[in-house]
Amino acid sequence: MNIPTLPDLAADTHAIVDPALSACTKSAAQAEKYIRQHPGGTLLVAAGLGILAVLLARALTPAPPRNRAMLLLEDIQERLSSLAEDGAHAVGKGMDSLGDLHLDRSFDKLSRKVKSLFH
């Protein structure tokens, strides 16, 4: 079994890392040159990427669940509305019944009797 020595590992690592490092350095230099030549375009690209990131984050964020208190309040509102409609209907029927009783004649008779007591 042949175990590599530390200097061999260092040489192999340098052989792999050095070209990658020089490629990254060259790319960074090219990017910096482009940014210096086109600052307005660079700002627009950066702003566009920022907006895209925000939109993507919002799209991936799940919608918050409806609040339990809100559901309870909506239920209460529906029930009160139903009760109010029923109450309004009952009052309307009661007013119709009062009109059918012809109370004006009864009160007229009563008012004559009260007046006759004091005259």
Do residues 51 and 71 share a domain? no
Domain boundary among 43, 61, 79: 61
Query: Which stretches within the chain are classed as H helix?
Result: 6-37, 39-60, 68-101, 103-118
The answer to whether the pTM exceeds 0.85 is no
Task: Determine contact, residues 42/35, Cβ cutoff 8 Å.
Answer: yes
Residue 116 has, within 13 A of its CA and on its CB side, a CA count of 6
Domain that holds residue 50: 1-61
Q: Which tops the pLDDT comparison, 34 or 97?
A: 34
Question: pLDDT tens digits for 25-73?
Answer: 999 899 899 889 988 999 999 999 999 999 999 888 876 666 777 888 8
Total domains present in the chain:
2
Residue ending a domain, among 36, 61, 86, is 61
User: Which among 20, 45, 25, 21 is positioned nearest to 35, based on CA atoms?
Assistant: 45
> 42 CB contacts (<8 Å, ≥6 apart)?
34, 35
